[in-house]
Amino acid sequence: MSEGSKGRSLAFGQVVIGPPGSGKTTYCHAMREFLAGIGRRVAVVNLDPANEALPCPCELDIAQLVTLPDVMGSLGLGPNGGLLYCMEYLETNVDWLQEKLEGLKGHYVLFDCPGQVELYTHHNSLKNVFAHLAKWNFRLAAVHLVDSHYCTDPGKFISVLCTSLSTMLHVELPHVNILSKMDLIEQYGKLAFNLDYYTEVLDLSYLVDHLASDPFFRNYRRLNEKLVEVIEDYSLVSFVPLNVQDKESMRQVMQAVDKANGYSFGDQEHRSLEALMSAAVGADFHFSSTLAVQEKYVQSQDKAVEEEVMDL
């Protein structure tokens, strides 16, 4: 047992990461309400020094330590450099974070993290902060949010897969990838394949073939094939669809995260045999998560076609 973890009980939580605009803050507060509704004591910790317009109060805000506007103004840095400095400053003053977290004992903690991708692919400060949290007996899962509209563009989806894989390898935490904003996906266009193709990351050669049908990408087929080989060789990336307005979708995400950070194997909540078996074998006996979203998507597409026909 490390010196920092002596005498401290286990604490569970999520570090919510992902690119800008993927819905991290919205997710944190929706998940907070959902978990509170089933009886968990939940706290949100804002680790994004650029997040000035929080929709709900946080139990702990990095703004008490450092803010991005202050860093940019005093050091003459741009937004990207300033955010990196803030994370390095947090790492240097990690004792401040430890002291503040002592006041959240007994809470399930949601860490709302910045949206700069390089923080999760090659910069080490935030990764080191997560390592400190582990030493303090936090059992965490990284919840990586990706906007679902990338599914409608094969080139962007391959890029998302590469970013997700890089993040999983660098952050070194149990990982759950989320396709967020599923309630808006029909606004972005028609999917080339069924939704389960994207969530389960099935045979990506079909995606390369589909991409090659575009004259712009035809010359890059070999490059895309190699990128796809890297993704498939690791065989780590898959996604859980999320619509924060849908309680069943939130439950599916909660189950995946609870299994990843080990919460589902504790005795904090009453658990049915089905829930325990689902966590143990990685199965969802209802098979409803992706299928339900796919059904709604198909229905919306059919309705759009009907409206076009009526207009004609």
Q: Give residue-wise pLDDT tens across range 138-160.
A: 999 999 999 998 888 888 999 99
Distances (CA, A) of 171 to 11, 123, 240, 259: 19, 10, 19, 18
DSSP states of 80-117? HHHHHHHHHHHHHTHHHHHHHHGGGTT-EEEEE----T
* Residue range of the domain that includes 256: 11-201+237-311
Q: Is residue 212 part of a domain?
A: no
Contacts of 148 by beta carbon, 8 Å cutoff, 6+ apart: 179, 180, 181, 182, 184, 185, 188, 241
Contact of 181 with 24, CB cutoff 8 Å: no
Q: Is residue 303 part of a domain?
A: yes
Question: How many structural domains is the chain composed of?
Answer: 1
pLDDT digits (tens, 9 = 90+) for 232-278: 999 999 999 999 999 999 999 999 999 999 998 876 665 554 555 55
Place of tokens 């080490």: 124
Contacts of 50 by beta carbon, 8 Å cutoff, 6+ apart: 68, 79, 83, 114, 115
Q: Is residue 36 part of a domain?
A: yes
Distances (CA, A) of 209 to 153, 205, 239, 274: 13, 6, 22, 40
Q: What is the C-alpha radius of gyration for the chain, rounded to an integer number of angstroms?
A: 21
Q: Is residue 148 part of a domain?
A: yes
Q: What is the CATH number of the domain that holds 102?
A: 3.40.50.300
Q: Is residue 216 part of a domain?
A: no
Q: Is residue 228 part of a domain?
A: no
Q: What single-letter DSSP state applies at residue 25?
A: H
Q: Is residue 55 part of a domain?
A: yes
Task: Indicate the SS3 state at residue 312.
Answer: coil
User: How far is residue 158's CA from residue 311's CA, in Å, rounded to a whole number?
Assistant: 36
pLDDT of residue 290: 57
pTM: 0.84
pLDDT digits (tens, 9 = 90+) for 41-87: 999 999 999 987 777 789 999 999 999 999 999 999 999 999 999 99
Whether the per-residue pLDDT at 27 is higher than 70: the answer is yes
- pLDDT range class, residue 1, cuts 50, 70, 90: very low
Question: What residues form DSSP beta bridges with 16?
Answer: 112, 143
User: Side-chain half-sphere of 181: how many Cα atoms within 13 Å?
Assistant: 18
Q: Is residue 189 part of a domain?
A: yes
